[in-house]
Amino acid sequence: MISTQLPAIVLLLTLLSAPVCSMIRNGDNAWKLAMCSVWLSVAAACALMAQVWGGNNISYHMGGWAPPWGIEVRIDELSALVVILITLFGALVISALRESLRTVMRSHRHSLYYATFLLCMSSLIGITITGDAFNVFVFLEISSLSTYALIARGRDRRALIAAFRYLIMGTIGATFILIAIGFMYMVTGTLNMADLAQRLPEHTDNRVIQASFAFFTVGIALKVAVFPLHYWLPSAYTYAPKATTAFLAATATKVSLYVMIRFVFDVYGVEFSFSQMKLDVLLIPMSIAGILIASLTAVFQSDVKRLLAWSSVAQLSYMVLGMALLNLNGLTASITHMFNHAMIKAGLFLTLAAMIYRVGSSQLRDLAGIGRSMPITTAAFVILGAGLVGIPLTAGFVSKWYLISAALDKDWVWLAALLIISSLMALVYIGKIVDVAYFKEAPTEHQAVRDVPVTILIPCWAFALLTIYFGLDTRATAGVADRIAHSLLGIAS
Amino acid sequence: MLAGLFNYWVVIILMMAGLYVVMSSRHLVKKIVGLNIFQTAVFILFISMGAVDGGTAPILVEGTTLYSNPLPHVLILTAIVVGVATTALGLAIAVRIYEAYDSVDEEDIAAMDTEDRRQENAVTTVTNTPS
């Protein structure tokens, strides 16, 4: 009985525990509740994946109202994968959060922080599983609002400005999506995504639908931080509280990318988006520029947090590029990289948070000699860094392999070369950190630095080990992504 | 032509005015005001599309058979709540910015941030010289 209700359970666990958390005065108790609910969500997400494995899509009718009148929850392998991404990586970050918050915030504030975190998580899950276009907008706004609040909690006063700028950009983006949904409703009279997908092909010559597509593309590109609409991202990631950055980097942009894939391929349809509206002509040059410029900018950063944030812009461009190449390998690369990069970047930000926990700064010069004073933490950072560069036997290699294959499938040797060059740039900026960490003398004030408590170490190492695991066993990532790519492109596997 | 699409012309004018204020104003609170105007334009767009010529409010009354479409109106109720929440959060952050910087002018704040970063880098050069 419980298994048929899973789609509702996975959403409600975090959604309902958020207000309860905010009412608990003791921060530690709130943390325990948050831990319970997120790890239960991980279990529920895995159970969902088991149900849809192999292509048995679930359609769940909220409150028993049949679609298209009622709100439908639709889960296929793609949404199950994204739900696992959100819950698992969110849960790992929350596990480290208690120790990490202790140094920065007075304990009676902790429960509110956990509540905001849970709210953000549940709304991201909501975006992923809903089958209703208007629900996507509402959940998107809930997740954005909680994200702004989380970023504004950063210690530096520049966090406030970063949050404010993100609020302006994010609201414009979300309102554009709302306009797009309104236009679609105007023409088709429905908000159910499956229903829209059936009715839209009759109206492809309608100017209103074309305008709706344009509004949607710009709005979601702002949320995904597609170059050149990435302006909010580096500051937001740099000044957000340290462990929170790990969660945001893993989930917020990835879920937006999921919405982009879902709408472009499923709702508007491949034929309309690419053959008629020429989305690839727009996205391919933008993402190539994003990869090169953001990687180059990352190389010259002296603040490691900002460096990793710029690297995120470049990696997101990889995913958009894979999608825009519009072939099987490209789409597989995009979806695999969505998962792998979420894992790697969350791990990197979390290990960096562990270093800041001891050293008190993310400036490169303060991390000198940290490889000797915090050997276990730094080792995890090196493994994750190798994953980011795409060294074989790590998860990053798998997705870059597919992406380069996709470029070669198109006979674009120059693009494959560019991708290798950008990977070398990643090697340079990760190498720069590793060099400072192992081969520079520690400044005198950091001589007493030692490894972080085990409660932070375990999540860091979980990310590092998962990076190696998914580099070796690709059934759950590339295997699923391949099946999804077949179904999105409408090719029989 | 103009009369039949009057609402939509209003929407376009409000939307552009709102976006212009968001982009051109240096004052953070004015940016929020612009954002509100922009969002309100979208609300009017939705409400106008739900209107049916000669239709009344969708409440069952004896003698009427023509009703306006209530669905867009309900959607906009939700969107208004979202908009109010965004405004509240934006203003709250603006207050915190005023407390931290003693200014709500974007360019003044940017200048202070540049100064902060210059100082961070200055420390770098000092610590690097001995080694």
Residue B131 confidence class, pLDDT cut points 50, 70, 90: very low
Which residues of chain A have a CB within 8 Å of the CB of B93? 148, 152, 160, 163-164, 167
Chosen for mutation from B8, B37, B82, B105 (greatest number of chain A CBs closer than 10 Å) is B82
C-alpha distances out from residue A75 to A64, A260, A270, A311, A333, Å: 16, 16, 20, 31, 21
Across the interface, whether the CB atoms of A168 and B120 are under 8 A apart is answered: no
Residues of B in contact with A134 (CB under 8 A): 75, 78
Comparing CB atoms, the residue among A137, A152, A168 nearest residue B22 is A168
**pLDDT at site A259:** 94
Q: Round to whole Å and give the CA distance between A265 and A259.
A: 10
- At residue B27, the 3 state secondary structure works out as strand
d(CA B51, CA B73): 9
Pair A302, B124: CB distance under 8 Å: yes
Chain B residues inside the 8 Å CB shell of A164: 28, 90, 93-94, 97
Do A6 and A81 belong together in one domain? yes
Q: Residue A48: how many CA atoms within 13 Å on its side-chain side?
A: 34
Task: Name which of A216, A217, A224, A371 is nearest A290 in CA terms.
Answer: A224
Do A290 and A256 belong to one domain?
A: no
Final residue belonging to a domain, choices A89, A113, A130: A130
Distances (CA, A) of B128 to A298, A431, A451, B121: 21, 20, 25, 11
Residue A209 DSSP class: H
- Chain B's closest residue to A186, CA to CA, is B49
Q: What is the pLDDT of residue B60?
A: 81
A-chain residues within 8 Å CB-CB of B49? 182, 185-186
Residue at a domain's end among A226, A247, A277: A277
Angle between helices A454-472 and A395-409 (to 10 degrees): 40
Instruction: Please state the separation of Cα A474 from the chain's center in Å.
Output: 19
What number of other Cβ atoms are within 10 A of residue A438's Cβ? Answer: 15
Q: What is the pTM of this model?
A: 0.93
Q: Please tell me whether residues A293 and A343 are part of one structural domain.
A: yes
A352 and A474 co-located in one domain? yes
d(CA A103, CA A60): 43
| Distance (Å, whole) CA B40 – CA A492 | 46
* Alpha carbon distance A188, B112 (integer Å): 51
CB atoms inside a 10 Å sphere around CB A55 = 12
DSSP string, B48-114: HHH--TT-B-SS--TT---B--HHHHHHHHHHHHHHHHHHHHHHHHHHHHHHHHS--BHHHHHHHHH
The pLDDT value recorded for residue A493 is 55
CB A196 within 8 A of CB A188: yes
In angstroms, the CA A444 to CA B88 distance is 46
Query: Hey, what domains does chain B have and what are their CATH numbers?
Result: 7-51+67-125 (1.10.287.3510)
pLDDT score at B108? 87
Q: Does A133 touch chain B (CB under 8 A)?
A: no
B128: number of Cβ within 10 Å: 9
CA B37 distance to own-chain centroid: 6
Q: Concatenated DSSP letters for A321-341? A: HHHHH-SHHHHHHHHHHHHHH
pLDDT given for residue B128 in this prediction: 43
Q: Do B97 and A161 touch (CB under 8 A)?
A: yes
> What range does the domain containing A61 cover?
1-130
Does B19 sit within 8 Å of A363, measured CB to CB?
no
CB neighbours (10 Å) of residue A160? 24
User: For the segment A62-121, what is each residue's pLDDT rounded down to a tens digit?
Assistant: 888 887 788 889 898 899 999 999 999 999 999 988 888 877 777 778 888 999 999 999
Cβ proximity of A419 and A400 under 8 Å: yes
Cross-chain CB nearest to B82 (options A138, A148, A160): A138
CB contacts, 8 Å: B120 with chain A: 363
Q: What angle do CA B118, B119, B122 make, to 5 degrees?
A: 90
Per-residue pLDDT, A243: 81
* Residue A192 β-bridge partners: A132
Q: How many domains does chain A have?
A: 3
**Which ipTM score applies to this complex?**
0.90
Residues A391, A273 share a domain: no
Q: A327: closest CA among A474, A489, A217, A487?
A: A489
Tokens representing residue A420 in the block: 């290798």
Domain end residue (candidates: A97, A130, A163): A130
- What is the three-class DSSP state of A480? helix
**Residue A64 and residue A111 share a domain:** yes
- pLDDT beyond 90 at B40: yes
Residue range B86-104: mean pLDDT, rounded: 92
- Is A85:A47 a contact under the CB 8 Å cutoff? no
Q: Are A143 and A69 found together in one domain? A: no
Residues A266 and A355 in one domain: no
Residues of B in contact with A148 (CB under 8 A): 89, 93
Q: Both tokens of residue B32? A: 């929020």
Measured between alpha carbons, how far is A324 from A397 in angstroms, rounded to an integer?
Answer: 20
Nearest 5°: phi and psi at B67?
-120, 155
- For residue A178, what pLDDT is reported? 94
Please answer yes or no on whether A175 and B42 come within 8 Å at the CB atom: yes
A334 and A376 belong to one structural domain: yes
pLDDT of residue B130: 39
* One-letter identity of residue A136: V
B62 CA to chain A: closest CA distance, Å?
A: 26
The verdict on A355 and A479 lying in the same domain is: yes
For the record, the structure tokens of A268 come out as: 């508007």
**Does residue A122 sit in the same domain as residue A140?**
no
CB-closest option in B42, B78, B94 to A179:
B42
- DSSP symbols for A329-374: HHHHHHHHHHHHHHHHHHHHHHHHHHHHHHHS--BGGGGTTHHHHS
Establish if A283 touches chain B: CB-CB under 8 angstroms.
Answer: no
**Residue A157: closest C-alpha in chain B:** B100
Residue A105 burial (CB < 10 Å; 0-12/13-18/19+)? middle
For chain B, the first-to-last Cα distance in angstroms comes to 76
* Contact criterion met (CB below 8 Å) for A309 and A394: no
Residues of chain A with pLDDT under 70: 1, 447, 492-493
Best of A178, A190, A215, A235 to substitute, by most chain B Cβ atoms within 10 angstroms, is: A178
Report yes or no: A340 and A470 within 8 Å, Cβ to Cβ. Answer: yes
Alpha helix (H) ranges present in A103-241?
107-129, 133-152, 158-188, 193-199, 207-224, 233-239
pLDDT over 90, % of chain B: 46
Nearest CA in chain A to B39: A175
Nearest chain B alpha carbon to A167: B90
The reply to whether A323 and A447 lie within a common domain is: yes
8 Å CB contact of B89 and A175 = no
Integer Cα distance of A218 and B47 in angstroms: 23
Residue B13 class from Cβ within 10 Å (0-12 exposed, 13-18 middle, 19+ buried)? exposed
Angstroms from A408 CA to nearest CA on chain B: 42
Nearest to B45 among A142, A152, A182 (CB): A182
